[in-house]
Structure 1
Amino acid sequence: MAKGVFRIKVYFRRFARRFPWFAFVIRSFVMFSAAFGGAYGFISGSTSKDSGYDPHAFAIGASFLFALACVALATMSIRMRFMGRRMRKLAAHNEALVDRNWELKEAEERARSLFEAQGDLIVIRNSEGCITFVNDAYCALAEQSREALIGSRFELTLLEQGDIANEPNGTSMHDQKIATATGPRWIAWREGLVRIDAGQPAELQCVGRDVTDRTQTERALGEARDHANAANRAKSRFLAMASHEIRTPLNGILGMSGLLLDTPLTPEQTTYAKAVKTSGDALLSLIEELLDYSKIEAGKIDLEHRPFALAGLIEDITELLAPRAQARNLEIAAYVDERLPLTVMGDAARLRQVLLNLAGNAIKFTAAGGVALIVEPGIWPNEISFLVRDTGIGIAPDAQQRIFREFEQADEGTARHYGGTGLGLSISERIIKRMNGRITLQSELGAGSTFEVSVPLAASDSGTATFMAPDLTSLSVMLVAPQTIEASLMALRLGRWGAQTCTVSDIAVAQALLPERSWHAVMIDRALGADAAEQLANAAIPHALRRIVLFTPAMRHELQPATPSAFTGYLVKPLRATSLAARLTLQTDSPTIAADDPLDRDPATPEPTEAMASSLSILVAEDNEINALLMRSLLTRLGHKPVVTTNGDEALESWLTSDSAGTPYDLVLMDIQMPKLDGIEVTKRIRAREAGQRVRRTPILALTANALVEDRYACFEAGMDGFLMKPLDRDKLAEALKGLAKTRHVAA
């Protein structure tokens, strides 16, 4: 009721303030009624018979009274106006306070409703730890009423305390596991000091939120992460063990097949031995892909940043793949843009791995035509683009993204027909991304493919490459060759060097063009036919100073150096830029091909092993009988004296015996995994013995099938000097022994 009357008054005041003329009329009417009533009563009393009425006195009195009344009325009117203004201000202020009070009450109700609706636990304690405020959620969790909690020191039952984190503003956060009627719950608390009333000490406000589900999820994720890490470690151990167990017999297969091919065999036996070696090489490549994928997946791939010759890398790749391509009657050629730096900074081994994979796939999926490796500047500064183009089967649009996935190929028919793990492109893409580069693909089904690898490679000033492109300006060069990849890239290179190049694919047309000008050189591809090439060279003698024949390594045995020839030189395909430049600028008047011409050698073909100045005494520690026999045969053929032991104890005893007799071994080839003492422990004991007594340090090379980086670190930490991977590469072994023999000879 009172609240209703109060609201009516407020509404009336608002109406009066909005319409001030209405209040003035009411006030004037009341004042007029009062004055009229008083005057009428006074006049009526004074005119009665017994009043002793004196007109003069009455007039004076009435005038005086009237004057006083006027003054009073004027004073009252002024006062009323002043008071009216004050009252209106007070009323407006009071009304604003009332409205503000309503707003505060409504805000308080909303805040309280919000706090209660959120379900967060809110408790405020004073400096003595007594509770001064709790919300319904805290009461429900504590299973006590608000009246019982206020003023008490109640604490929830603590089961486990989490770590406490402090913020710069003084707020602390921590998790607690508490006991409740429904079971243990995790509460995330946020605590901070707040001041409730001015002049009063600050109180501690604690806001808690139930994070049981989040905590359980985090713990489940942590357990899953631990299980995944354990699975990765188990996978790494399995890969290491499987790699070792596979590589050990594979070393014997490849090594023995190589030795077998070096012996006199019938054609049928040679075919079978080559098949064994080819199958072993294929198995080795599959193992390498799986290990590379495992390393990349585990994030253990490390990139080097060293200078390397760009053109040399590309030409080495083409020459390495040339035998495979030429065996399939395919051409493979390379071209490096002259605008690129000779030496760049990067990881040559990983880049070589990617380009070998792409070019090897191009050869595998190409039946006719060839493969081209083109290197040119990229679209960004310091970026170099490597293009691998082929004329193969092409890739369908829907398969172009799928082939970069793990264990995926273009289609099932491709996998069955061509084989492979489907990991090569996935590994290549991850390596290039690790180099901050990218791989793109343009292909059309049945029309070949182009893979473009773009990698940032900065120029290096520390390189040793000094190739200078020859100046062939105004010189005429005739290129007589089929319209192939090699011919087109050679014509492009000659044009960049300034030569006026004429490319002809017909012998008769070439003979007709010979008399038209004086030719600096005539280059003839022997693929047009041996007799036709020789005939054209004879016809070009009066018109061309240089007559050069081009052929593949397979045609080398057909050359007869002692037989007079019209050719002044020859080049082996795929061509190297340095060899081509040397042939076109070499001053020679020889009418025949020199048998000892250094330019006729295929740069990719290793030099014959030179006779050792002296044989080495080598201790071999190898527990596998086949591999021990292989090492004995290889070392004996290389002119060394091997001593083979089958376990670590025998190796250590043999080394100690030779050391005590004053005839130490020149080299120890140490297998890592052996019965009794392993290679790591034997090496440590040898190094400990040397540190105490010896001056000369025995070189120790690890022989292991373990390909993981951790194994290499273990070898070097034990004191080994090098690392030879199984299956053993005979060329690498011969190179290592050759370098050691030279070092010993110089020291002697």
Structure 2
Amino acid sequence: MYCKNDLCEILSLLLVKGGWWLLFGIIIPILSCIISGCRVKLNDQKQKIDEQEPATQHWQKQQPQSAPKGAGKWSKKLLVVFVLLGIVMCNWLFWYLNRKDILGREVTLANMCEERARMLQDWFNASMSHVHSLAILVSTFHHGKNPSAIDQKTFALYTERTAFERPLTRGIAYALRVPHSERAKFEKQNGWTIKKMETEDQSKVQECIPEKLDPAPVQDEYAPVIFSQETVSHVVSIDMMSGKEDRENVLRARASGKGVLTSPIMLLKSNHLGVILTFAVYNTVLPAYSTPQQRVEATAGYLGASYDVPSLIEQLLQQLASKQTISVHVYDTTNASVPIKMYGDEITDTTGILHTSNLDFGDSSRKHEMHCRFKQKAPLPWIAISSSSGLLAIILLVAEIFFAAINRIAQMEENCRKMMELKVRAESADVAKSQFLATVSHEIRTPMNGVLGMLQLLMDSELGPVELGYAQDAHSCGKSLISLINGILDQSKIEAGRLELEAVPFDVQYILDNVLSICSNESNKKDVELVAYVSDQVPEIVVGDPGRFQQIITNLVGNSLKFSLSRGHIFVSVHLADEVGDPVRDPVLRQVVSLVEDTTNKKYNTLSGLPVVDRWKSWENFKKLNSAAEEPEVIRLLVTVEDTGVGIPLESQNRIFTPFMQADSSTSRTYGGTGIGLSISKCLVDLMHGEIGFVSTPGVGSTFSFTGALRKRESRSIEIKYDPVFDELRGRRALVVDDRSIRAEVTRYHLQELDVSVDIASSLKSACKHLSSTSTSSASTNLAMVFIDKDAWDKNTGILFQCLLKGAGQSGGSEGLRNLPKIFLMTTSKSTSESVELKSAGLVDHVLRKPLLRSVLVACIKEAFGSRYIMSQEKEKNELSSCPSLLREKRVLVVDDNVVNRKVAQGALKKYGANATCVESGKAAVTMLTPPHNFDACFMDLQMPEINGFEATRLIRCMESEVNEKIASGEASPEMFGNVTHWHTPILAMTADLIQASNEVCKKHGMDDYVSKPFEYEQMYRVLARFFHV
């Protein structure tokens, strides 16, 4: 049985492994089908994207085909097979675990039943041995002694005292073998008649009274009981051979010489089934090989022991803890067809597990069995149910996942197909938009080039003041329109990913001066103080894109100007990113990051005295503020633009960098603008590998900060024009009078750039004290200039201050009076009446209009000290006029189909001394530039009829290449081609299409550079001058 169970378990485990491998074998193909389907789809889409032609020309060829459905169909079929096999697997798992549980119950029942059977056998065999011992005792002391050593009293006493050795026996009795011939003598000797055991009604055996029993019938021999245990004293005188079962027992016992059992019978004086164990008592010791006849002849009597089977088994079960677990039934199965139940209740449920244990009570002629069943029904196989249900849930969940994945992939493929269609349409729209913008750009910028160019030529002519003002206003409006167009085109180039940055050396302070110069008119109109400051840690010359760097700052300053209120300020500062860490050493930066309110005057230590936001918060989230990880030649600049404007509403701050988005719909109507400047600035900052951020508080103002990665320039490549006034001022001192220390520090910065030592006084009274304390020292002699801010000016104190200056000069004699310090009044006011009044009164020498620029400051100083430097200025003018231009006498070919543009280009080149020749088509340009020719350079328009600029350049380069090959190979001599050994005429593109045109595109088609329309005269000169040397 156990071997079979082990084999079943091994086969089950093999089946489990096989089932799992089968499931995995189905899952893997499903995954393979899904992945391969996705891969095929993606590869097809990638191939379509790689191979697709321009959308506007090949729309039909780009229509994406429907996704192949073979992989999805097979995946669903495999999924169905997977689910079916999973269900089969779950059923088998339930059967296996349930079977295992049943087998476990069977083993448990078998162990418990075998344990009870073994204990019952052991108890009975031990009791049987004691009964056998008692039979030998009777044989020895009753029949082996004369007279007998045993009588009824002795037998009863002995059996009573040794009853503990036979706990299973109900009673023991000894019956003497009496032949019929000796019956009378025996009855007379004992004084009672041998009684018959059986009665007609066996159901009344419990009423057995020997006196009432009938005498035993006549038979060959009798076996009356002569000795008995006290518990069965009622059997004395009863003939054991008068009962059918007992007679058979007696006959079998004396013939076999072993203990024999009766079939289950009703014991006398009890209503229980029992058995009687009988041993023959011999009058002599028989050998083991004696025959049955010899045993019969030697038989002297019979010793019988009765066993109450129900009480016996009940006593056994009482000693076991698991009595209540199983029910026990004991059967006599000698007659297998009619088994006799010896113990056990009635069986009501025969469907449970049954275990049968054989009982061996030492009588081979009789068979006994113990039947065991669990009293309670088997509980539900929860392990089998939960395991199979869990597996089914997992399989269904996996199937659902795969099904959802298949459907999702199918949906994604369908969406991808639709998106491909939309992508093709979007690309077509993008191409159409780019072409439209290029066309619009060209069509707008071309006439604007003519308008601005002609206006510039007009302004260069001899006009009256009124006419010159009209022309300048018209030129300014045209530049504003071009600025708007450039912004839109920049946004388009950014969206198309075509915006590129240059890498040229430039001066940061020069860029800031340009920005302030551009914005100065607007700031003066709004009475907003505009100030720029560059830390001394920032290198003078850096390498980057100066145009885009200036564009970012201009956008930020212009944005601040739009939202600034009167008498506010805009402060532009440039520092190294490393400077913002602790400790802060820069004097201006240290003040702006630790602003303290003046509680007496309710003013702040800012440029305008108004509160500002905490600028630290504008860069606190920057990730790249420390340039330690940068390359050694890379520096990271931090540019901050602070204003005291209206601020940005909190709900609008998250969309401030979105193109064409403003704080609200009324912003454009109230303040102007298109909402594109900040978006372009952010994109440009990203291209510079920097970050941009801001902090704003409504009603206080805003601060924008951005960083940019630029490169150092060790050698100075930008020459600063020498001015003799610098030598005169070097080592001299200046006094700055300003009630706001941060503004005084900025003024000190600009003067120190001219090698002037600067002292600061917070008011005119402090300045008077300063003059009084230094009147006798060399500091008074070296004092060349006094800069007084309008906010610190007081007329009465100013008169006193002027008197002190003159007094100090008089103490120095006539030389001291001639070298009195010049007084400069710095103001942002547009009103000139007060300034004229102050100058007329001799209180100030010059009024300096803010913003404070290096060029303006130098010009004012020259004007103030003009009497001493007129000769040097005139000499400078003569030198400039006599200095030959790089373009003087150069022959330049201008190719453009627009007659106005040709005139503008010709006029610009003529201004720089070049000889310009104009043609109207690319075909004519190819003819004019066929080697040999005498042109030094060529400006080529890109969009022209017949042959465009790119095609004309390609033809020209082909001709030059052929000529160069002939000269190099010796087929032609340089004299044949104007004594030029290598032909390469600089060709510069002139285009109004900023979408398509770029330096890289132009060089790809053989051009050397490009200028965009409308072009400035300086731009043409700067681009063209690179190809010539003095």
Q: So what's the TM-score if we normalise by structure 2?
A: 0.49
Match for 2:941: what amino acid? D
Q: 1:480 and 2:737 equivalent?
A: yes
Check whether the contact 2:647–2:700 (CA below 8 A) recurs between aligned residues.
yes
Paired residue for 2:760?
A: 502
Aligned partner of residue 333 in structure 1, secondary structure: strand
Q: Distance in 2 between matches of 1:187 and 1:396?
A: 46
State the SS of the aligned residue for 1:227: helix
Q: Secondary structure at the match of 2:656?
A: helix
Aligned partners of 1:210, 1:412: CA distance in 2, in Å? 42
> Cα gap change, 1:241/1:39 in structure 2, threshold over 3 Å: closer, same or farther?
farther
1:415 aligns with 2:668: yes
Cα distance change, pair 654–594 in 1 and its aligned pair in 2 (3 A):
same
Higher radius of gyration, 1 or 2? 2
Counterparts of 2:884 and 2:795, CA distance in 1: 37
The Cα of 1:293 is off from its aligned counterpart by 1.3
Checking the alignment, whether the CA contact within 8 Å between 2:516 and 2:853 is kept in structure 1 is no
SS at match of 1:452: strand
Q: 1:595 aligns with which of 863, 870, 873?
A: 870
Q: Which amino acid aligns with 1:716?
A: K
**Following superposition of structure 1 onto structure 2, how do residues 150-165 of structure 1 map, counting pairs within 5 Å?**
none
Aligned partners of 1:243 and 1:707 also within 8 Å: yes
- CA change 1:115–1:357 in 2 (3 A) is same
RMSD, matched Cα = 5.5
Contact 1:307/1:345 (<8 A) preserved: yes
3-state DSSP of counterpart to 1:230: helix
Say if 2:991 and 2:997, in contact at 8 Å, map to a contact too.
no
In structure 2, the partner of 1:727 is 1014
- The Cα of 1:372 is off from its aligned counterpart by 1.8
Counterpart of 1:28?
A: 122
Report the equivalent of 2:697.
Answer: 444
1:351 and 2:572 correspond: no
Give me the whole-angstrom Cα distance separating, in 2, the residues matched to 1:599 and 1:580: 19
Q: Aligned AA for 1:424?
A: G
Structure 1: runs of 5+ lacking an equivalent: 66-79, 81-98, 123-136, 138-185, 189-208, 602-606
**3-state SS in 2 of match to 1:451:** strand
Residue 616 to residue 220, structure 1, CA distance change in 2 (3 Å)? same
Match for 2:674: what amino acid? T
Tell me the CA shift for residue 574 of structure 1.
Answer: 5.0
Provide the C-alpha distance between the structure 1 equivalents of 2:468 and 2:866, rounded to a whole number of angstroms: 39
Give, in whole Å, the separation in 2 of the partners of 1:213 and 1:341: 58
Which of 477, 481, 487 is matched with 1:279 structurally? 477
1:676 maps to: 946
Displacement of 1:48: 6.0
Q: Residue 308 of structure 1 contacts residue 463 of structure 1 at CA under 8 Å; is this kept in 2?
A: no
State the secondary structure of the residue aligned to 1:422.
Answer: coil
Are the equivalent residues in 1 in contact too, given 2:505–2:717 (CA < 8 A)? Answer: no
- CA 1:390–1:7 in 2, change beyond 3 Å: closer, same or farther? closer
CA distance in 2: counterparts of 1:242 and 1:357, whole angstroms: 24
* Contact residue 333 and residue 485 of structure 1 kept, 8 A: no
Change (3 A) 1:737 1:539: farther
Cα distance change, pair 120–582 in 1 and its aligned pair in 2 (3 A):
same
Distance 2:937 2:451 in 1: 25
CA contact under 8 A between 1:495 and 1:501: conserved in structure 2? Answer: no
Report the Cα offset of residue 671 of structure 1. 0.8
Match of 1:514 in 2: 771
Q: Distance in 1 between matches of 2:130 and 2:690?
A: 107
How far off is 1:247 after superposition?
0.8
**Contact (CA 8 Å) 1:335, 1:374: kept in 2 or not?**
yes
Tell me which of 530, 555, 561 is aligned to 1:332. Answer: 530
1:524 to 787, 790, 810: 787
Q: Which amino acid aligns with 2:450?
A: G
Encode CA deviations 1:545-579: one digit per residue, 9 max, x unaligned: 864747799999x99xxx9x999999996556799
AA matched with 2:759:
T
What SS does structure 1 have at the residue aligned with 2:285?
helix
Q: State how far apart, in whole Å, the 1-side matches of 2:574 and 2:860 are.
A: 23
Task: Indicate how the Cα distance of structure 1 residues 637 and 464 shifts in structure 2: closer, same or farther if over 3 A, else same.
Answer: closer
Instruction: Give me the whole-angstrom Cα distance separating, in 2, the residues matched to 1:246 and 1:621.
Output: 19
Shift of 1:628: 2.2
Q: Do structure 1's residue 368 and structure 2's residue 570 form an aligned pair?
A: no
**Kept in 2: contact 1:572–1:600 (CA 8 A):** no
Q: Distance in 1 between matches of 2:719 and 2:911?
A: 38
2:217 paired residue number: none
Using the TM superposition, name which of 228-237 and 700-709 deviates more.
228-237
Residues 437 and 682 (structure 1 numbering): CA distance in 2 closer, same or farther, change over 3 Å?
Answer: closer
Counterpart amino acid of residue 690 in structure 2: G
Task: Indicate how the Cα distance of structure 1 residues 457 and 646 shifts in structure 2: closer, same or farther if over 3 A, else same.
Answer: closer
What amino acid maps onto 2:736 in structure 1?
L
Deviation at 1:258? 1.6
Counterparts of 1:119 and 1:54 in 2: how far apart (Å)?
Answer: 85
Q: In 2, are the aligned partners of 1:700 and 1:722 still within 8 Å (CA)? A: yes
TM-score, reference length from structure 1: 0.65
> Structure 1 pair 463/599, CA: closer, same or farther in 2 (3 Å)?
farther
Q: Partner of 1:241 in structure 2?
A: 439
**CA separation of 1:446/1:290 partners in 2, compared to 1, >3 Å: closer, same or farther?**
same
In 1, the alpha carbon distance for the partners of 2:671 and 2:760 equals 39
Displacement after TM superposition at 1:284 (Å): 0.9
Structure 2 equivalent of residue 381 of structure 1: 626
Contact 1:375 1:386 in 2 (8 A): yes
Cα separation, 1, equivalents of 2:851 and 2:436: 42
Residues of 2 paired with 1:266 and 1:343: CA distance?
A: 41
State the aligned residue count. 605
Q: Which residue of 1 aligns with 2:927?
A: 653
- The CA deviation at 1:350 is 3.0
Do 2:736 and 2:758's aligned partners in 1 also have CA atoms closer than 8 Å?
A: no
Deviation at 1:292, TM superposition (A): 1.5
Instruction: Tell me how far 1:387 sits from its aligned partner.
Output: 1.2
CA contact (8 A) 1:547 1:566 kept: no
Aligned counterparts of 1:210 and 1:526: Cα–Cα separation in 2: 73
CA shift digits 1:198-251 (9 cap, x unpaired): xxxxxxxxxxx8842232123223333333333333322222222111111111
- Equivalent of 1:406, from 659, 664, 679? 659
Report the residue type matching 2:481 in the other structure: L
Q: Deviations over 1:118-173 (max 9, x none)?
A: 55899xxxxxxxxxxxxxx9xxxxxxxxxxxxxxxxxxxxxxxxxxxxxxxxxxxx
**CA 1:539 to 1:629, structure 2 compared with 1: closer, same or farther past 3 Å?**
farther
Residue pair 2:921, 2:945 contacting (<8 A) in 1 also: yes
**Other structure's SS at 1:594 match:** helix
Q: Which amino acid aligns with 1:489?
A: V
Among 664, 675, 682, the residue aligned to 1:429: 682
Q: Is the 8 A contact 2:826 2:849 kept in 1?
A: yes
Quote how far apart the aligned CAs of 1:631 are: 2.4
Q: Secondary structure at the match of 1:673?
A: coil
Q: Distance in 1 between matches of 2:530 and 2:576?
A: 21
Question: Counterparts of 1:624-703 in structure 2 under 5 Å?
Answer: 624-656=898-930, 664-693=934-963, 694=977, 695=980, 696-703=983-990
2-structure distance, mates of 1:441, 1:593 = 48
Aligned to 2:214: none
Bigger Cα displacement from structure 2, 497-506 vs 385-394: 497-506
Q: Which residue of 2 aligns with 1:622?
A: 896
Paired residue secondary structure (2:640): strand
Contact 1:704/1:726 (8 A) holds in 2: yes
Q: Residue 490 of structure 1 is aligned with which of 732, 737, 747?
A: 747
Shift in Å, 1:705: 0.7
Distance 1:720 1:454, change over 3 A: closer
Does 714-723 or 474-483 show the bigger shift? Answer: 474-483
Q: Does residue 704 of the first structure (1) align with residue 995 of the second (2)?
A: no
Q: 1:272 to 1:34 in 2, by over 3 A?
A: farther
| Identical amino acids, percent of aligned pairs | 27
Counterpart of 1:258 in structure 2 is 456
Please give the alpha-carbon distance, in whole angstroms, between the structure 2 residues aligned to 1:576 and 1:268: 28
